Amino acid sequence: MLRGVDGQFDWKGCSAALTYVGVVALLVVGAKFGVAYATDTLYPSADASLAADAAGGDGSSSAGTHADAANSANTIGGNAGTTTPNPDTLSTTTPERVINALTIAQAVPATGKFIAADLVNMELYLYQDGTTTAAYPILSKGRPGTSWETPSGMYAVQSKEATHFSTIGHVYMPYSMQFYGNYFIHGWTYYPDGTPVAATFSGGCIKLATTDAEKVYAFADVGTKVFVYDSKQATPPPALSLASNPVPAIDAASYLVADIDTGDVYTSQFPDMPLPIASVTKLMTALVANEIISLDKKVTIEDGMLKTPRVASSTAPETFLVDDLFYPLLMQSNNAIADALASYYGTRGFVGWMNTTARALDMTSTTFADASGVSASNVSTSEDLFRLATYLENKKSFVLKITHTKSKTITASDGTSYTVYNVNAPATDAAFDGGKVGHTTAAEDTMLSVLSITVGGTERHIAIIVLGSTNQKVDTDHLATWITAAATAGATSQTACASCALPQYRKIQL
């Protein structure tokens, strides 16, 4: 029997937030796909209800994607051209690609209160009617590359508490303002005995000096918009200059090789063809589980699920932290773990979040029917999966790091240890940053990989997607060898001809 040990949800004030997100998503998706679909997928019944209770904060799970890709007219760098959106229309429903292209100045509304947290320059600004009224230094934020990375995006103050206790960090957070899920703006945290935490103590929240947090707390109202700005790479690197090496014969029905740093597509075949993706699904499962289930929550599973080889008859219950279950989910491609995480608050609701997150990432040809990838109705395209790979590399790289881990020992609550081994084909390759393999009869072999290659002394991140293959490792290896050789030779030629123009490639707008 799969069950969650903790009966409480991780988000204080989540009921109001989810109601807002759910209504918007219901209206938007209902208009496009029909109300029955929207209701069933995005606003599930009571089995997926999420009870608002004591939130974690300061070391909790992240929620970096936005609820729906509804505002397609307000694109920045999209197919419709460059348009600066009206600040009044920005919300948690604004697509990720729009948020990524915004500056703080573009996000500030002309009227009302507004808070902007600049995670690049580590400053928090207060605005009244479009004018800056105060600025305070940000003392810490969530560590990049971890599951606690502070999510950028457009949010709003959901709740305020003069003193909030974090059940994850086990610390008090003075002048706490929740802006999304387990994420807060607050003052300097301290332990129950009154001892301030060390300067190195950092969760996923935005921490200010307590005197500054008090002023922000007095300024902010519930509903005040909060824009969290974090531009990791304001200036993308130049396009690669590829030598004219012929692309090898590839068996996959669809494939794509594209540059995560620039969006350039170097080669592809039927990149827009929707196909079953099998266990590549679990990358989205991990992303959503990280967003909606606090990492210190506990899940009980049958011990036979983790034994190698699997022992179906071994049904003794074992309890693990959610944080530890990401390893068998991604390394072992464990279907039972995927189902256990999805069922923590209700499978229908969880799969609805997967589909909502896909739309927020502009994965418009992607649909999920389960969390494991067993269903042939889990479909996507190579181009959509490139968008997912880019988001993971830039915002949730801890997911890819797990897929690159060769082996990992996790320990149950009773002290029993289990060692998990990696089934992702290139997990030991030096250039492999991470990814996921999959196989079902309907999908055949599938694979998403992110590679790091050094070209002209600069590290570049390349995504390789293969779908509908008879051998995903062979196809991926052939494409990886090709792009590495073509880029290396092209860089040499470009150096010899500094005045030569760089090539132009089709770009995937992100």
Domain ranges of the chain: 54-229, 254-496
Contact status, residue 124 vs residue 136, Cβ threshold 8 Å: yes
Reported as a single tens digit per residue, the pLDDT across 142-167 is 888 777 888 888 889 999 999 999 87
Q: What is the pLDDT of residue 494?
A: 64
Most confident of the following: 11-25, 178-192, 285-299, 367-381: 367-381
Q: 111 CB contacts (<8 Å, ≥6 apart)?
A: 129, 130
What is 54-229's CATH number?
2.40.440.10
Report the share of the chain in percent with pLDDT over 90.
Answer: 55
Mean of per-residue pLDDT scores for the chain: 81
383 or 490, which is more confident?
Answer: 383
Q: What gap in Å lies between CA 23 and CA 212, rounded to an integer?
A: 35
Q: What gap in Å lies between CA 405 and CA 229, rounded to an integer?
A: 31
> How buried is 47 (Cβ within 10 angstroms: 0-12 exposed, 13-18 middle, 19+ buried)?
exposed
Strand ranges in 9-57 using DSSP code E only, listed in sequence order: none
pLDDT of 30 above 80: no
Q: What gap in Å lies between CA 173 and CA 170, rounded to an integer?
A: 10
Q: Residue 263 region, left (φ>0) first, then alpha (ψ -120 to 50), else beta?
A: left
User: Residue 266 corresponds to which amino acid?
Assistant: Y
Q: What is the pLDDT of residue 150?
A: 87
pTM reported for the whole predicted model:
0.74
Reported as a single tens digit per residue, the pLDDT across 305-354 is 887 666 667 778 999 999 999 999 999 999 999 999 999 989 999 999 99
- φ/ψ of 221, rounded to 5, equals -115, 160
Q: What gap in Å lies between CA 305 and CA 335, rounded to an integer?
A: 9
pLDDT of 128 above 50: yes
Helices and strands in the chain, H and E counts:
12, 21
What is 254-496's CATH number?
3.40.710.10
Q: Under DSSP, is residue 318 helix (H, G, I), strand (E, B) or coil?
A: strand
Residue positions annotated with a catalytic role: 279, 282, 333
> pLDDT band for position 24 (50/70/90)?
very low
Element (H, E) at 358: helix 347-360
